[in-house]
Structure 1
Amino acid sequence: MPDQDLALSPPHVLVVEDEGLIRMMVVDMLEEAGFVVTEAHHADAAWAILQRRQEDIRVLFTDIDMPGSMNGFVLAERVADAWPHIGLVITSGGRKLADREVPDHGHFLGKPYRPKDLVLAIREAI
């Protein structure tokens, strides 16, 4: 059930994850929590979305390791430089980062994560 405070103007989250099943589960979790979600299967696709819709996106949630010309960390750095109003949450199952290592005071969420931890990280990034 969506939160009451998100019902008026739900924040928009861009989810970037190359593993289709994980991406689908994340999208479902965030939509159930009341967020509007756009998804991308790699950082290059996310960058194209951001260039068209950066005003709409409030949070970027990205995996680090994925195919393409850039990984999720590079994507997060570019987003922090170009659009500092977009909050950042980076995730990985193979790497561990401290929040201070995430660009623009973002957050790191290690895999596997629980739905409530995902939602909390997104809310903190807003």
Structure 2
Amino acid sequence: MAVSDTGHGMTPEVVARVFEPFFTTKPDGKGTGLGLAMVFGFVKQSGGHVKVYSEPGEGTTVKIYVPRAVGAAAAAPRTGAPVELPRGTGTVLVVEDEAAVREIACAILTDLGYRVLEAADGEEAMLVFGANTASVDLLLTDVVLPGKVRGRELSERVRMVRPEVKVLFMSGYTENSIVHHGRLDDGVQLIGKPFKREQLARKVAEVLGAPITAPEGSGKVVELRPKRDT
């Protein structure tokens, strides 16, 4: 698959660094440089590779190569009843600068019964939180946000106003502001991107301390209590 544009193009020096996490040619606050790095990671996980062709003034072409599927795809047989996902009624403030990721997260949470507020960066999130201070139960925020207010600082500001608000970080990378030597800071909750519907549903319920029903037929209800912050 090839995607081409007719933009300004890139110099060889820039092309050599396009897949580096957090590398960007945009000014401060206009991007985090994660887009192509995430594409590179997804493609490599699928056993493929990516090539970038670009020249100044000539535009850019990105070519993605993935293994060809051989034979007809067979639907996996259903082994049991559909998994019942935990639902909720609380209010979740979703903060994510990537519009597609934010839209998916908001749609999943709304479908699960939550009231959802959204913001594209830390500054907007503070405005939304200020207008809904008493009702927000959970802050779901990306670790790396454009602008001056990053995810960790945003969570600290929110909890200075209302310490009882739960916080769940999301990230495509282990960011050293919350992860040290492969371990999360005490009291920190993290979900990796990209995430599945079931993963987000269960993680949000876990952080909020909602009861989660075991698969149908077990007759058990497992209550997940929120962890005490240290």
> Aligning the two structures, in what range does the TM-score lie when normalised by the shorter sequence?
0.7 to 0.9
Distance 1:115 1:4 in 2: 11
Match of 1:110 in 2: 192
Q: In the aligned structure 1, how far is the partner of 2:194 from the partner of 2:149?
A: 23
Contact in 1 for aligned 2:90/2:137 (Cα 8 Å): yes
Distance 1:78 1:15, change over 3 A: same
Residue 140 of structure 2 is aligned with which of 61, 84, 87? Answer: 61
Pair 1:116–1:4, CA change in 2 (3 A): closer
Alpha-carbon RMSD:
2.2
**Is 1:82 the counterpart of 2:161 in the alignment?**
yes
Gap runs ≥5 in structure 2: 1-83, 209-230
Structure 2: how far apart are the matches of 1:92 and 1:19?
12
AA aligned to 1:21 is A
Q: Which runs of 5+ in 1 are unaligned?
A: none
Identify the structure with the greater helix proportion: 1
**Partner SS state of residue 135, structure 2:** coil
Q: Which residue of 1 aligns with 2:120?
A: 41
Distance 1:125 1:67, change over 3 A: same
Cα gap change, 1:23 to 1:51, in 2 (>3 Å): same
* Equivalent residue, structure 2, for 1:12: 91
2: CA distance, partners of 1:16 / 1:24 = 11
Counterpart CA distance in 2 for 1:32 and 1:63 is: 21
The answer to whether the Cα contact below 8 Å between 1:16 and 1:23 also exists between their aligned partners in 2 is yes
Distance 1:78 1:41 in 2: 17
2:109 matched to which residue of 1? 30
Alpha-carbon distance, 1:81 to partner: 2.4
Which structure 1 residue ranges, 4+ long, deviate > 4 Å from structure 2? 2-5
- 1:66 is displaced (CA, Å) by 1.6
**Over residues 22-77 of structure 1, what are the superposed CA-to-partner deviations in whole Å (9 max), with x where a residue is unaligned?**
00000011111111101100011011111221111100000011211111111112
Matched letter for residue 119 of structure 1:
A
Specify which of 189, 201, 210 is matched with residue 119 of structure 1: 201
Could you say which residue in structure 2 is the equivalent of 1:72?
Answer: 151
| Identity, % of aligned positions | 27
Q: 1:99–1:108: 8 Å Cα contact kept in structure 2? A: no
Q: Write the mapping of 1:83-102 to structure 2, written as runs, cut at 5 A.
A: 83-96=162-175, 97=179, 100-101=184-185
